[in-house]
Structure 1
Amino acid sequence: MQIKPAMPPGRRTFIRRMAASTALLGVSAAGLSSCTSTGGGMGESGAPGFRHGVASGDPLSDRVILWTRVTPSQPGDIAVRWQVATDSAMQQVIAQGSVTTSAQRDYTVKVDATGLLAGHVYYYQFAAEGDKSVIGRTRTLARADARQVRLAVFSCSNYPAGYFNVYADAARQDDIDAALHIGDYIYEYESTGYACGNAEALGRVSEPRELLLRLEDYRRRYAQYRSDPDLQAVHAAMPFITVWDDHEFADDTWRDGSVDHKTAKYGPFELRKLAALTAYHEWMPIRVPDAAAPDRIYRSFDFGGIVSLHMLDTRLIGRDQQLMLSSYYDEHRRFDEEKYKQDVCSPRRQMIGREQMAWLEGQVSRSSARWQMLGQQVLMARMEYPAAVVMGECNSTDFAALKRRAAADPSCVNDKQKRWLSGATLPCYLDSWDGYQADREQVFEMMRKHRKNMVVLAGDTHNAWASDLRDAQGRQVGVEFATASVSSPGMEGAYPDRDPEDVAAMMVDLIEPLYYAQTSKRGYMIVTASHAEVRCDWRFVDTVFKHEFTATTDRSLRVLPGPGNRRIEECRA
């Protein structure tokens, strides 16, 4: 596939430009299960007064946020009772109370249930207007002597794109300490927008049908998503730790705008951002670190002495506007490579902002956990293409084949091909950390300076990746595990006539730090951390277009601690 240099590289452009495969390892029978997506188990059916289920989130060692929404029988204030118990029958109640909700907060309820014990499973339930909610299950953060931590990692759940079978599979896992949703929990498009081709047949047409702009719009979209039984089931089964990406607001959001937001047509972006932010805090089980600054959601969670999890906002609070590759061509279609490289590396360009960067360094420096884990939205790994490919001189397929031929027989390439092979690589997905390289180097130097073992978790691209993280000097500083989407389409449509195994081999050849890629399936990650290693299992479903599906663990990789390790390697049997 040839890359057109004038095309501004947004996320879906990036998806079209890259490809990957399922077949780097075979799927074992032990990792396969057949399921039906109906939201079974915890939270499978709710009373009329609680049509959006229950959820928990932001667990600490002694507390957790409990969430629900009341469907009112009539307008007005509603008293809601809550209970926490140590048993699933709600007989051994250890905490309870009452709160009031109203239309002012869209009848949502959030309770910070305190006085709990570390590393314990608890059950909770709400009651209002004669109805009781389903019973949810949650757990507090691991104790100091915990031996391992298991996290489920999700991204990019697009309601009209398909059923939430990924959530259904995760809800059946009974040993997850917490779920991380690292962005694009909802999508803001109109009903005829992105990935809606099958929505009518699936009964999943977006509501409201218009583009989300007002608070009421965002509230209705969250309500539609939270009516899904599989999403309700996974929320009822485990606590969530969340951050937003762009589609909770608008496509390719940055600090003061979005690529899709036209002020003349839609009004000030600040008003839209405030509406989206308000609905997010109403509908998500998140604890606000600072009530006076609800846009500051970066925060840390310590899982015993194993993991310090730092949830970052790479989208809203500090990000400068994305660069555009097309801006670096002059009137004669000559590309200014030097200026381009200077700009993507400029120390003036910020991804997370100075305040958040200083906060992160403080958290990292004080942490004594074996692993520093960054839960954030966009790819941190270098996903740079050969300049000859970016400039359209040679397509990806031919370049990869040329590289293999040259390795086998250097005499078979001509002078022009030698120039291609020896040329620089260029970033082309400028919405990721590749477009904010000074901030990335600062994070890498932070981890090196404090001698930390770093694992980065990412989403955003709808595809699964594993990459080694190296600084500008080529020094190994950590690894990145990136999850596929819950339902948003990936790059499988970019190469419909090619074997995905061949495409995967091509991508690994093209992108030097890339170790693994899988783009033809929807799925999530299960990340298991211990003092000895962090292991990532990529779990996929075979369809999002039917309720009946098969789930498989497709690939497992790990990283070991210590300065001589901190790189991706195969898991041992």
Structure 2
Amino acid sequence: MDRRQFLRLGGFLTVSVAATGLAACGGGGNDPPPDPAGDSGNPENFNFVHGVASGDPRPDSVIVWTRVEGTNGKRPVVVRLQVATQDDFAPPTLLVNQPLMARPEWDYTLRNKVTGLSAGTRYYYRFLLGNRASATGRTRTAATAGTALSQLRFAFVSCQDWNANHWAGMEELAQQDLDFIVHVGDYIYEAVPGGSRTGLVEDRHAPLTLPSGTALPDGSVYATTLDDYRYLYRSYRADARLQALHASAPMIAIWDDHEFSDNCWQDRQTYDSDDDLTPRTARRRAANQAWFEFMPADVSFDADNPSFQNIQIYRAFTFGNLATLVMTDERLYRADHIIPEQSTGRAVGSVFLVEADTLAAAEAAKIANAGGVLTPVSMLGDVQRAWWQDRMGGGNTTWKLWGNQLSMLRMEVDITEALSKLIARALVLVNGTLAPVESAMATALASDLAVAKAAGTYVGLGYAALRNVLVSVGIDAAGFDATIKPFIEARLPSVTLLGKFILNADQWDGFNAERKNLMAFLKSNSIRNVVALSGDIHAFFAGQVMDDFDAPSPAPVMVDLVTAGLSSNTLLSSFRAVVDNDQAFAALRDLIYSNVGGTLINTFDSTLRTFNPWLRHVDTNAEGYALVTLTPDKLNCTFHTMQRVSGGTAPSVATGGTQALQVTSNTADVSVL
């Protein structure tokens, strides 16, 4: 290999060009010296403790990664990369045999782009410290654009919290023969619990202690410095199951919020209501650099750029004529939440359980004040939105896949209607003679509660509509006031919780105008077979994305498949904690769960399905991953639900159940099989 076959880019990403006829030892005699002084850096003092990884497969290239750990006085150390078409790395199959330098300023990580590869081909790679080899990784290049492909097999995953459940699902995934793995974010969690960890966590994940960190009122500590973020990546990558997953197939990764800060936007954190008034540029830059160092991604990073936007990670991939994969960044360029936390004093009402009408009015006002542009209400930002449209409109493939951290699906609940039905049902259970008017009672009570909502108080509410219904079954005014009224009022929440509420305004429901803009682009350009691969919300969802969810007759444009967290506290558990621990929300408990004879009944799923008819599948009490088989005619997806850890030990068989789904070509719908 001569100097034309080896390039050094930007201080950290190196490039090797595959060549045939290499010897097993040495690079052919013309290798450039890895260091001007010829210092090998005492490789005998280093070891491979974080495995290997590959990512971002193109038809002629792939990124390979490793990290070495040891001591040599903070000098660079020589590490040799080998890439071959067979896993024995015998000379006839050896294509790259290149010395590289692992440097302390990049935490002894190595990122090398191997070019000159053949399209649609399996390769093997490893790294050497002297004669000691790392684990061998498998990778595969993409098919050339336009090449007829009959099938792709891949997984998509999200939310792998060190401090929740277990990582046995990674072992299962590593056994699959996949073309690639899509990671849609929350690869690490920036905050570690203080004291004892809540929930069930496997024992092999010992508590983590950040080198520096900043404490929060609940005792948890969040990563603040580059050393903190590096520590988290090192800790996660030390797990043999994550190493096996990376070694099994190339990963195409994007970040979400926890790679920097929970529910973040740009360089702002949101741990308390006025946190995001202060830029956290140094912290954001530290998070950017650590992600860049540890992820095998073919992206640009400029350490000399003082901005927090010193990295670009949105990018696109093509797999023959079958699929375009567009990966977007929904954190670095997004505007603040439409209703800022400081205006409500907490996340509820701003990020979670946001009144739909209030949210829509606030968004419309921001757009109007900006002269009609989407900039102040955008998740993607203007430049990335234009790029997204270009990639979606220009990809000449059957399917358009969107690596999209946050769900596009509308998730709302009409609390007035839901509570009215619950109270009507409860009245029937205590007085069976009311059964014939149960539906009429629910409708009438919803009408009465709407009056209270408009007035902003229950004081003076006469329940006129409900009284009229109950007169027909012999309940007069005195009987109503003595029994019915106290029964109802004991079950009502604050009047501020009446109405339609958006479940999570941190996802696309909180950026509805831009969502409508994107759907209008797809619809007006007749772009079909668009499927989002989403995560973040710690639950499985599948459904249709409408052109305008608020229209009288919305039309489906694309499909969103949402994977649960691979290991994370479930969406159901999060909402259970709210209704159990905050008296203001106790009246909503039956919308989330019920307890029958000591058995927890998940009612959250049915609540969401009732008010969101575009949802085809909902499982809010799951952890797991998604496997996809893609053909020209169909996308088949299987959600794998993890069994729970028991006694601190992960189950021997990780998957406890599956749900098969199917999207048929040229239909913006998903079927539950």
Q: Tell me the TM-score normalized by structure 1.
A: 0.82
| Structure 2 portions without partners, runs of 5+ | 1-44, 214-221, 368-373, 428-433, 452-497, 577-592
In 1, are the aligned partners of 2:637 and 2:661 still within 8 Å (CA)?
yes
CA contact (8 A) 2:547 2:557 kept: yes
**Aligned-pair CA distance for 1:142:** 3.0
- 1:254 and 1:570 map into 2 onto residues whose CA distance is 35
Structure 1 stretch 103-112 or stretch 263-272: which is displaced more?
A: 263-272
**Which amino acid letter does the alignment assign opposite residue 362 of structure 2?**
D
Aligned partner of 2:609 among 505, 508, 518: 508
Name the SS for the 1:380 alignment partner.
coil
1:478 equivalent in alignment to 2:533: no
Contact kept? 2:538, 2:564, Cα under 8 Å: yes
Whole-angstrom CA distance in 2 between matches of 1:548 and 1:436: 39
Q: Which residue of 2 aligns with 1:184?
A: 186
Partners of 2:230 and 2:530 lie apart in 1 by 36
C-alpha separation between the residues in 1 aligned to 2:435 and 2:509?
A: 28
**Alignment match, 1:79:** 78
Q: CA deviation at 1:317?
A: 2.1
1:222 equivalent to 2:219? Answer no
- In the alignment, what sits opposite 1:487? 567
Amino acid of the residue matched to residue 190 of structure 2? E
* Whole-Å separation in 2 of the counterparts to 1:465 and 1:72: 44
Over residues 346-385 of structure 1, what are the superposed CA-to-partner deviations in whole Å (9 max), with x where a residue is unaligned? Answer: 4441111000000011111211111111101111111111
Q: What is the percent sequence identity of the aligned residues?
A: 30
1:466 is aligned to 2:542: yes
Rate the CA distance shift 1:66–1:294 in 2: closer, same or farther, 3 A: farther
- The number of residue pairs the alignment matches comes to 513
1 CA distance for matches of 2:113 and 2:310?
17
Provide the C-alpha distance between the structure 1 equivalents of 2:394 and 2:82, rounded to a whole number of angstroms: 35
What displacement does 1:246 show?
0.6
Distance 1:421 1:153, change over 3 A: farther
Answer whether contact 2:268 2:280 (CA < 8 A) is retained. yes
Distance 1:481 1:336, change over 3 A: closer
Amino acid at match of 1:85: A
Q: Which amino acid aligns with 2:59?
A: S
What is the deviation of 1:509? 1.4
Aligned equivalents of 1:257, 1:519: Cα separation in 2: 29
Determine whether 1:151 maps to 2:154: yes
Q: Is the 8 A contact 2:160 2:566 kept in 1?
A: yes
CA contact (8 A) 1:396 1:510 kept: no
Tell me, what secondary structure is at the counterpart of 2:110? strand
How many Å apart are 1:468 and its aligned residue? 1.0
Partner of 1:415: 444
SS for the counterpart of 1:486 is: coil
Which runs of 5 or more residues in structure 1 are unaligned? 1-46
- Asked whether the equivalents of residues 196 and 205 of structure 1 are also in contact (C-alpha less than 8 Å), the reply is no
Contact 1:525 1:538 in 2 (8 A): yes
**2:163 aligned counterpart, secondary structure:** helix
Q: Matched residue of 1:394: which SS?
A: helix
Q: Give me the whole-angstrom Cα distance separating, in 1, the residues matched to 2:65 and 2:84.
A: 15
- Which amino acid in the other structure matches residue 450 of structure 1? N
**Partner Cα separation in structure 2 for residue 467 and residue 370 of structure 1:** 20
Distance 1:168 1:254 in 2: 33
Match status 1:355 vs 2:383: yes
Per the alignment, do residues 537 and 205 of structure 1 end up closer, same or farther by CA in structure 2, a change over 3 Å counting?
Answer: same
1:371 counterpart residue number: 399
Match of 2:640 in 1: 539
Q: Is 1:171 aligned to 2:174, yes or no? A: yes
Contact 1:385–1:510 (8 Å) recurs in 2? yes
Instruction: Pick closer, same or farther for the CA change 1:424–1:191 going to 2, 3 Å.
Output: closer
Deviation at 1:449, TM superposition (A): 2.1
CA distance in 2, matches of 1:349, 1:371: 28
* Contact 1:314/1:377 (<8 A) preserved: yes
Q: Secondary structure at the match of 2:69?
A: coil
- The aligned residue for residue 309 of structure 1 is 325
**Aligned mates of 2:277, 2:413 — CA distance in 1:** 36
Alignment partner of 1:61 is 2:59: yes
Cα distance in structure 2, aligned partners of 1:358 and 1:231: 35
Structure 2 contact 159–538 (Cα < 8 Å) conserved: yes
How far apart, in 1, do the equivalents of 2:671 and 2:357 lie? Answer: 35
The 1:214–1:413 alpha-carbon spacing in structure 2 relative to 1, beyond 3 Å, is closer
The alpha carbon displacement at 1:418 in A equals 5.1
Deviates more, 1:410-419 or 1:263-272: 263-272
Deviations 1:142-182 (A, max 9, x none): 342111112211111111223211211101112x1111111
The equivalent position to 2:408 in structure 1, one of 376, 380, 394, is 380
SS of the residue 1:272 aligns to: helix
Q: 1:162 aligns to what SS in structure 2?
A: coil
Distance 1:315 1:496, change over 3 A: farther
- Choose from 337, 345, 368 the match for 1:321: 337
Residues of 2 paired with 1:475 and 1:136: CA distance? 45
- After TM superposition, the structure 1 stretch with the greater mean CA deviation from structure 2, 519-528 or 481-490, is 519-528
Contact in 2 for aligned 1:153/1:180 (Cα 8 Å): yes
The aligned amino acid for 1:566 is A
- Please say if residues 147 and 531 of structure 1, whose CA atoms lie closer than 8 Å, have aligned partners that are also in contact: yes
How far residue 191 of structure 1 moved from its aligned partner, in angstroms, is 3.6
**What does residue 570 of structure 1 align with?**
672
Report how far residue 510 of structure 1 moved: 2.9
Instruction: Pick closer, same or farther for the CA change 1:273–1:556 going to 2, 3 Å.
Output: same
Tell me which residue corresponds to 1:556: 660
Judged with a 3 Å threshold, the aligned counterparts in structure 2 of structure 1 residues 266 and 340 are, in CA distance, closer, same or farther, namely: closer
Equivalent residue for 1:340, pick from 359, 376, 394: 359
Structure 1 CA distance, aligned partners of 2:187 and 2:436? 44
Contact 1:295 1:316 in 2 (8 A): no
1:295 to 311, 327, 334: 311
Q: Counterpart of 1:374 in structure 2: which amino acid?
A: W
**Secondary structure, in 3 states, of the residue corresponding to 2:568?**
coil
CA–CA distance in structure 1, aligned partners of residues 196 and 565 of structure 2: 14
Alpha-carbon distance between aligned partners in 1 of 2:559 and 2:110, rounded to the nearest angstrom:
38
Cα 1:95–1:408 change in 2 (3 A) is: farther
Is 1:527 paired with 2:628?
A: yes
Give the structure with higher Rg (CA): 2
2:651 and 2:421 map into 1 onto residues whose CA distance is 36
Q: Which residue of 2 aligns with 1:269?
A: 280
How far residue 486 of structure 1 moved from its aligned partner, in angstroms, is: 1.2
CA 1:532–1:140: 2 relative to 1, 3 Å: same
In the alignment, the residues of structure 2 paired with residue 177 and residue 410 of structure 1 have an alpha-carbon distance, to the nearest angstrom, of: 52
Bigger relative contact order (CA 8 A; separation at least 6): 1
Q: 1:251 aligns with which of 255, 262, 265?
A: 262
SS in 2 for 1:161: coil
User: Which residue of 1 is the match for residue 419 of structure 2?
Assistant: 394
CA distance in structure 2 between the aligned counterparts of 1:236 and 1:516, rounded to whole angstroms: 32
**Hey, what's the Cα distance between the residues in 1 that align with 2:70 and 2:601?**
50
Q: Give TM-score scaled by structure 2 length.
A: 0.70
Displacement of 1:289 in angstroms is: 4.5
TM-superposed deviation, 1:399: 8.9
How many Å separate the matches in 1 of 2:87 and 2:225?
39
Which range is displaced more, 244-253 or 500-509?
A: 500-509
Deviation at 1:201, TM superposition (A): 4.6
Deviation at 1:412, TM superposition (A): 5.2
User: 1:118, CA displacement in angstroms?
Assistant: 1.3
Q: Letter of the aligned partner of 1:471 in structure 2?
A: D
Q: SS of the residue aligned with 2:206?
A: coil
SS in 1 for 2:334: coil
Q: Which residue of the other structure, out of 507, 524, 548, is the alignment partner of 1:432?
A: 507
Deviation of 1:95 after TM superposition, in Å, equals 2.2
Kindly indicate whether the alpha-carbon contact (under 8 Å) linking 1:386 and 1:426 is maintained by their aligned counterparts in 2: yes
**Whole-angstrom CA distance in 2 between matches of 1:49 and 1:400:** 65
In 1, Cα distance between the equivalents of 2:411 and 2:637?
Answer: 20
